[in-house]
Structure 1
Amino acid sequence: MAGNSRVDLLDTEAMIPEEERAMQAVVRRFADETLRPVVAGHFEAGTFPVELATEFGELGLLGMHLDGYGCAGSSSLAYGLACLELEAVDSGFRSFVSVQGSLAMFSIHHFGSEEQKQEWLPRMARGEAIGCFGLTEPDHGSDPGSMRTRARRDGDDWIINGSKMWITNAPVADVATVWARTDDGVRGFLVPKGTPGFEVQEIKQKLSLRASITGALFLEDVRVPSAAMLPSAKGLRGPLSCLSEARYGIVFGSVGAARDCLETTLAYARQREQFGKSLAAFQLTQEKLADMSLELSKAMLVALRLAELKDGAGVEPAQISVGKLNNVREALQIARTCRTILGGAGITLDYPPLRHANNLESVLTYEGTSEIHTLAVGQALTGVSAYR
């Protein structure tokens, strides 16, 4: 259920300018009419409706916060609100848009050559080409600085060897941004689907993000021309800046998941009767609802503040860490608490809270675990790194 239930008593929506609010309404309508009717089936089957990619493109959602090359050039706030509405249906839809726009397209847009931009970005913005982002490795999730994937020069070409894990969109991607260690530091390479030695294996039997498609990348003596390297990315700062973009979308997206849980549960509690009165009339239920409303409103205020910073003077990585750490943690707790109010009905796909909770378990971990973001905030406060 999406809708107009008054779960945000602070009326944070009134803080959103009219233009962004109108865009949000368009995305919400698309999400409710096109995505919501099919999400339970895809979650149960463990599939993603990749055929909808061009519809995402028609709405201008792919790379929407980028300028030129067919991208919408929207504000950071508009992008965040789009992520909110998509994740209000399912994290899988927001993940698709985040990986396409904030990781794959962003890496090309900010670090690619003009030829790379012209080749890929217009098609990716239309949803006609799909990208993925190969950074995480099987043995080095939170520590990308220890990556083992390597690229070496061979004449005018590069030879890449290594593997990547937990890569959203990988099984359907037309191109992968692959990060590899070189003698000149970490560099990014565009590896198209079908390149000899480049294989993708879908990861199945997931208990979370089931309406999203995930894979592993394997590169064995993959030969790419020198023109495949992203010329402006050198060192870990390149991929980490892309991750900051994706994490920003999560700050808003997690609010959407929490809102959907609370709206659904409030409606259920009003109509479900036990002991001769509605669940909403019990003090313990009201305490849960009140606490969840407080945390939802606070999470939205955090998201709106980060959007203000991002569209203004700029947002720092530690500030994004504050948003991801708080909002995902609170959204997960809201989803779990909503499930308790739904009782037995809450374990079915007829209601979204447990599906959202399962998804948020992944969101809690990817793009930086809670522990990593806690340490990032700690370092910003103290000036001391506790990573090693």
Structure 2
Amino acid sequence: MVDVGEYRRTARALREAEEKYRSLVEGLPAVVYIADFGEDGSWRYISPQIHSILGFLPKEFTATASVWRERILPEDRDRALEAELRVLRGEGRLQCEYRITAKDGRQVWIREEGDAVRDDEGNPLYLQGVMYDVTEMKLAEEQLVRSLEAEKEASARARALNDMQHSFLQAVSHDLRTPLTSIMGNALTLQREDIHLSPDEARELIGALAANSRKLYRLVTDLLDLDRITRGVIEPKRVEVDVMRLVSNVLEESATDDHPVRIVTPDQVVALVDAAQLERIVENLVTNAIRYTPPGTPIWVSAERNGTGVVVAVEDAGPGVPLELRERIFEPFRQGSEVVDHSPGVGIGLSLVARFAELHGGRAWVEERNGGGASFKVYLPDGSAPVARAPDASLAAT
């Protein structure tokens, strides 16, 4: 007779150990697997967690060797296969991350770690490892990266705003101080009773007072208008306007001795626009041309009908505007590539031009002038607003 008691006790212990191992493996929040090496290597075992992570039953996932390979995203597939080959070549443990498409079409991030099981001679027999679902961690990492980028952008914007504010305060203080100094000096001269001025000298001082007062008025008006536009409290009040008559009036008020300014549109051009805003557009464009071109540079002003609107152009024979600055100079407090020493400015004139054009449903842009220089243009569509009575009869179309 053969004593089988020891055999049965050993078999029972093996079954209990296997059940404990299986219970432990299948209770892990990850997929445990045993698989043969290679693209066509079969799956020897895969734990039930494959269903909760990828939606496949174990028998579905292990039916063919190609299920795993074909569902890895193409851009990640070579990296995952190469990681397995490194283990086969004895180059360490399998460690890689890749994206795989679940049964329901979701993209799941997998972190896979594994080792080769070898025979007594060190030859690889099969691969055993674990697959972790790290999708939430990857999403959190991506959100963190986005947050960091957003923080960097916000910091850069804050620094740019701070620099812009500093430049703006410098420019405003200069633009206020310069005419105020002249006004104060001329006024004090006129006030002194111990100085006897001839009528011509008095007129000259009074003229300088008026000119510098107009500069201050334009600066303060620009600042107030920019604030009102930003707060959305300005709307165009459209009237029929004789554009070239309006241009002529603006040029008379902003006449300059060191820049010849010519009107090159002798014919009448009528547009349905806000007369006051068009005045500011022309005034700021002409002032900009004077400020950023050398003395003696000719300036031309024109207007023409274009479809259902009007295009106003102010051109000069100066150095022009670099291509990379042609959009940025219409931003508030931009002054182009360099500050002009002889005529610094706040840098809001062109921004107002663009904003007034946008209020009309149009746009402002700059391009190279034929023959060299800059050509600033503004398109103002007539719009569908009812025609109001012109506030200044001299500007009304006849």
- With normalisation by structure 2, the TM-score equals 0.21
Whose helix fraction is larger, Structure 1's or Structure 2's?
1
Which fold has the larger relative contact order, with Cα–Cα distance below 8 Å and residues 6 or more apart in sequence?
Answer: 1
Whose strand fraction is larger, Structure 1's or Structure 2's?
2
- With normalisation by structure 1, the TM-score equals 0.22
